[in-house]
Amino acid sequence: MDLFDTRPPAIVLAALALTACGGGSDNSIAEDDADNVSRFSEQLMPAATETVYLNLETGAMVEESDDWHIAANRLNFKLNSGASGNGNVVGALAIPQDDFYDSNGDPDANVFTNATANSEEEHLLGILEEPGSWQEDAFASAFGSSDTWSQYDFATGVISEAEDVGYLVRSAEGNSYARMRVVDFNFPTREGQGIEGFTFEFDVQASGASGFSNTAITFTPPASYEGGDACFDFDSASVVDCETSEAWDVQVGFSGRDWYLKSNSGVSGNGSGGASDPMTWQELADTQSDPGVPQLYNTDSTGGVLTDNTWCAYNLTDQHKIWPNFRTFLIKADADDPESTVWALQIVGYYDQNGTSGKPTVRWLPVELQQAQE
């Protein structure tokens, strides 16, 4: 029922990538150390300042208007389908690399920092099974999936707030911040009148201020509210028009069967907004000011299998560095064509040979999938 990206709770992103593969700049054929030739293509994607597009068939970087299969913008990847593009490209997770995480789902720093492109190559080259389903891209909110901050009662059809959920939020201007708490949400879906009520609380750190205010402001439905979208500017502590205002920071609403929170960022707006991973109210209270880590703030985007299954981890050695988990993904060129090419793909680095970030390296090869054993 929701199309949003789901990410594990944390104040600092535990969902980023690595510099283990310094190399690749052009499409190339890589070999292993033995006489056996491991034939896969490899491409560094120069995605530090813009979205770049890759055709897996040709190995060429192309324009958005051309035929492309995957795209990257710094840490974020998307497929040419659904909310991300006009194509019909779909994906699936083939090798989840569960051993890179502990029983709580947190990254195992020892495993991450000892893994290399060579040590994880076997997963890319192994025998892979047909997935149970394929996934196209959809909208991904900076606030995560709707079931992160709300809950649905199947007996009554009412969607209400989840307990003890909050966020750090960056303003559309990018120079002010707020601690945001989800206090109340009431969406009786079976009545057909939209969202009936909501309350979000904000402790604002104004531009130039050293910390969050101890006086909360609230975002509640305006008098003219009809149950759909509503937008709030926490700098002015006022509800603003979602269509005409450039200053909105947080939007709440629903469309069709989906309900959402949005930030003025990425695909949702022209602003520099964003939101952290979900935090408890106590974690928020313990955070006295914006931590000064831009990577903490997610932005609204589109994504699918490459965002639902993070390909990396961040700051495992207290050096603000990104490490890949070498998950193997399946990418299918055309969801409707049973004879369509399928590639196995890994994201193996985030830096170029000079250590410049925002330049992820991917490697891939066409595969013949085996039928899954029952």
pLDDT at 374: 64
Residue pLDDT, tens place only, 306-342: 988 999 999 899 888 999 999 999 999 999 999 999 9
Per DSSP, the three-state class of 64 is coil
Tokens of 279: 């935090």
CA-CA distance, 12 to 296, in Å (whole number)?
A: 5
CA-CA distance, 188 to 186, in Å (whole number)?
A: 6
pLDDT at 120: 98
Q: What is the DSSP string of 252-298?
A: EEEETTEEEEEESSTTT-SS--EEPSPB-HHHHHH--S--S-GGG-B
Residue pLDDT, tens place only, 157-200: 999 999 999 999 999 999 999 999 999 999 999 998 999 999 99
CA-CA distance, 173 to 17, in Å (whole number)?
A: 27
Tokens of 176: 């002010």
pLDDT at 37: 47
Kindly give, in sequence order, each residue whose CB lies less than 8 Å from that of residue 369, ignoring residues fewer than 6 positions away. 128, 129, 130, 330, 342
Burial of 307 (0-12, 13-18, 19+ CB in 10 A): buried
CA-CA distance, 44 to 60, in Å (whole number)?
A: 11
pLDDT at 24: 31
Per DSSP, the three-state class of 29 is strand
pLDDT at 51: 93
Nearest to 267 by CA among 68, 46, 3, 91: 3
pLDDT at 5: 36
How far is CA 51 from its chain centroid?
15
Q: What residues of the chain score a pLDDT lower than 50?
A: 1-37
Q: What residue type is 353 in one-letter code?
A: Q
Phi and psi torsions of 55, nearest 5°: -95, 115
